Amino acid sequence: MELNTSKCHAMRFYRTNNLLLYDYSINTSLLSSQTVIKDLGIWLDTSLTFHEHFKTIINKSLRLLGYIKRVTSDFTSIQPLKILYCSLVRSHLEYCSSVWSPYYQLYSDKIENVQHKFLRHVAFKLGQYMHYDDILQMLNITTLKSRRLHHDLILLFKLVNSQIDCPDMLAKINFAVPNRQTRQLVSFSVPMHRTNYAHYSFLSRSQRIANQFQELDFSYSLNIFKAVLSNIT
């Protein structure tokens, strides 16, 4: 198979100021160097901060939300609005969230603000002032941050139970084996990291979260695990 070199690029991931530069080529064709690139729907930058990805998904989601508001201006029922929001807007904000889940409150709040705008629109359609939590309960939806937590734990469950075939990631999961009986039991032994990037990476983050909920049993079936998770978070 021949590669279209005009669609191929070189990208370096680094966190140092002393960058070693090299030129890469395919069949004598020099590849252009990129600082931001889209791969499988996720925008990657050289430091893996995902700033560009946050900006892109927020702007696109706001445009989609604006479109929904315009085409549903004559709707009197809230349920179609919820379906459109969940299928077009929320799904875009959650795509592959375990990869890029923000650990800075600034970006988490900006993403959550998209859902806030939708809920304010729902309150406007209802013609009454309602608290954010009350609208969430009425529509039977949760915060985006809570949903990202759920996605992390479900993905961790699938890795532990070999429902996802990824031996490289499974090998990095550290199960806790206590050497004496303790009242507080944790499922995973999470190593310390010196950088925020490693500390908040998916495997470290999801194992720390799982340790906070002793009710979670990774020997459950997936459906029972999801039900328990919904009840405790």
**Helices and strands (H, E) in the chain, number of each type:** 11, 6
What pLDDT is recorded for position 129?
A: 80
The set of residues, in sequence order, having a beta carbon less than 8 Å from that of 129 and lying 6+ positions away, is: 123
3-class secondary structure, 32: strand
d(CA 226, CA 154): 7
What pLDDT is recorded for position 126?
A: 87
What pLDDT is recorded for position 2?
A: 80
Q: What is the mean pLDDT of each run of 10 residues along the chain (233 residues)?
A: 84 81 86 92 93 97 97 92 96 96 96 96 87 88 95 97 93 83 77 89 95 90 94 82
What pLDDT is recorded for position 184?
A: 64
What pLDDT is recorded for position 185?
A: 76
What pLDDT is recorded for position 214?
A: 86
CA distances from 169 to 13, 28, 38, 128, 159 (A): 20, 36, 23, 49, 8
pTM for the full predicted model: 0.88
Residue 84 gets the label, from left (phi > 0), alpha (psi -120 to 50) or beta, of: alpha
What pLDDT is recorded for position 132?
A: 82
What pLDDT is recorded for position 13?
A: 87
